[in-house]
Copies of this chain bind each other. A is one copy, B any other.
Amino acid sequence: MTATGVLALDIGGTKLAAGLVDATGRVRSFLVAPTPDGRRAALDVLFALGRKAVADAGADWPEVAAVGIGCGGPLDAEGGVLLSPPHLPGWVDVPVAGLVAAAFGKPAVLDNDGTAAAEAEHRFGAGVGTAQMVYLTLSTGVGGGAVLNGQVYRGATGNGAELGHVVVDWRGRACRGCGGRGCLEAYVSGTSIAERAREALDPASFRRGSGGSFSGSSLSGVDAVTAAEVAAHAAAGDPLAVRVWRETIDALGTGLTSIVNMLEPELVVLGGGVTRAGDALIAPARAAVRAAAMTPGGRSVRVERAALGDQVGVVGAAAVAMRKFFRKGTV
């Protein structure tokens, strides 16, 4: 069996991924490695992963037609240049699409990873057939993308749908992602969930806070609290974890309400590591947005977990390349 596909590269702040994806969205090979410090070292690892992904796909692949690259913004998608993504310190004005095209001898395209993931879920995942769909990834940071009227929405400079930076509390927590205040990302990213739990556990910061003593929290024995532990301990009824988790749901419900009131999507897809909590996250978030968002859009909107899991990054990067380089009927 032969097939035509694309090489997909996903550049994250903590990990790099590469995969060969066929035209049906199926991932034929998939490799992940931690992101090393330094731009040069990271690109070396990325290119090595890419070459291995091609080799791993096997000899029945006659052609890698193109390369798709996903990365956090801000970026210049048209020019294929990373401008200054906050999760990649020192990567300023990097012409990554050009570097990739030179390394692999194939046309390459760069897009925002949130946009790419939205495209992946719309083309191959939870959002197939929808006209208006919003995708939110709750991960180290919070990113997103939107499909409006059946098309991926880009905004004026290609950096639209920064859904993690919808503000939920104008006097709220500082946001590491954008330097602003009270963004959704400052509450529902894995980083923030863990950080808020640690703040609540720490007696010094706790004295400045408002409520009772949590010295008996089951989390207090945990060395380095993670979002997954907060979710698990909340499910087990630990009061501190429950408090942090409830605040997470409140923030998510508020942010989704703003998003739904603004875009009135049929479907909100939630992806990223934090969604491993499953229905402990999705069900109350769905209930919150249905209760608070305006009718009729708020009543009918579906809120669902992403279908593509950990591979959404490479499927997204592949989907971006397919949109750019594949014409209808060529694959």
Report A159-198 CB contacts with B as 1/0, cut-off 8 Å: 1111101111111000000101110000000000000000
In angstroms, Cα B100 to Cα A14, docked, is 60
A213 to chain B, nearest CB (A): 23
**Copies of this chain per assembly:** 2
Taking A162-B261, A167-B168, A170-B254 as known contacts, 6 extra A-B pairs with beta carbons closer than 8 A to each other, sorted by chain A number, are A83-B296, A153-B263, A155-B297, A162-B264, A166-B258, A169-B169
30 inter-chain pairs at a CB distance below 8 angstroms, sorted by A residue, are A74-B296, A83-B296, A146-B262, A149-B151, A154-B264, A155-B265, A155-B297, A156-B300, A160-B297, A161-B262, A162-B297, A163-B261, A165-B257, A165-B258, A165-B261, A166-B258, A166-B261, A167-B254, A167-B258, A168-B170, A169-B169, A170-B250, A170-B254, A180-B292, A180-B294, A181-B292, A182-B254, A258-B258, A258-B262, A259-B262
The 5 closest A-B pairs by CB, nearest first: A155-B264, A160-B264, A170-B254, A165-B261, A162-B261
Taking CB atoms and an 8 Å cut-off, the chain A residues in 114-173 that contact chain B are 131-132, 146, 148-149, 151, 153-157, 159-163, 165-171
Asked if A156 contacts B266 (CB within 8 A), the reply is: yes
Which residue of chain B lies nearest to A253 when distances are taken between CB atoms in the complex?
B170
Determine whether the beta carbon of B155 is less than 8 Å from that of A263. yes
Total interface residues on A, CB under 8 Å, equals 52
Taken together as a complex, chains A and B put the C-alpha atoms of A15 and B167 apart, in Å, by 33
- Specify which of B156, B165, B259, B261 is in contact with A265 (CB 8 Å cutoff): B156
| Cα separation A264 to B292 with both chains bound (whole Å) | 25
Nearest B residue to A251 via CB reads B170
Whether the pair B170, A169 counts as a contact (CB closer than 8 A) is yes
Closest to A168 in B: B170
**Other-chain contact of A294, B178, B262, B296 (Cβ < 8 Å):** B178
Enumerate chain B residues within 8 angstroms of A155, measured Cβ to Cβ: 132, 263-265, 297
Do residues A294 and B74 form an inter-chain contact, with CB atoms below 8 A? yes
Q: With an 8 A cutoff between CB atoms, is A215 at the interface?
A: no
Question: B159, A297: Cβ atoms under 8 Å?
Answer: yes
Q: How many whole Å from A166's CB to the nearest CB in chain B? A: 5
Which residues of B lie under 8 Å from residue A292 when comparing CB positions?
180-181
Tell me whether A300 and B262 are in contact in the complex, defined as CB-CB below 8 angstroms, given that A165-B294, A170-B254 are known contacts: no
Q: A295 at the A/B interface (Cβ < 8 Å)?
A: yes
Q: Which residues of B contact A182 (CB under 8 A)?
A: 254
Separation of A83 and B168 alpha carbons in the complex (Å): 29
Write the chain B residue with the least CB distance to A154: B264
Q: Which of B159, B254, B262 contacts A162 (CB 8 A)?
A: B262
Contacts of A264 in B (CB 8 A): 154-157, 159-162
Contacting pair B297 A157 (CB below 8 A)? yes
Q: Which chain B positions have C-beta within 8 A of A178?
A: 261, 294
Which A residues between 50 and 108 are near B, CB-CB below 8 angstroms?
73-74, 83-84
Given A167-B168, A169-B170, A262-B166, the answer on whether A294 and B257 have CB atoms closer than 8 Å is no
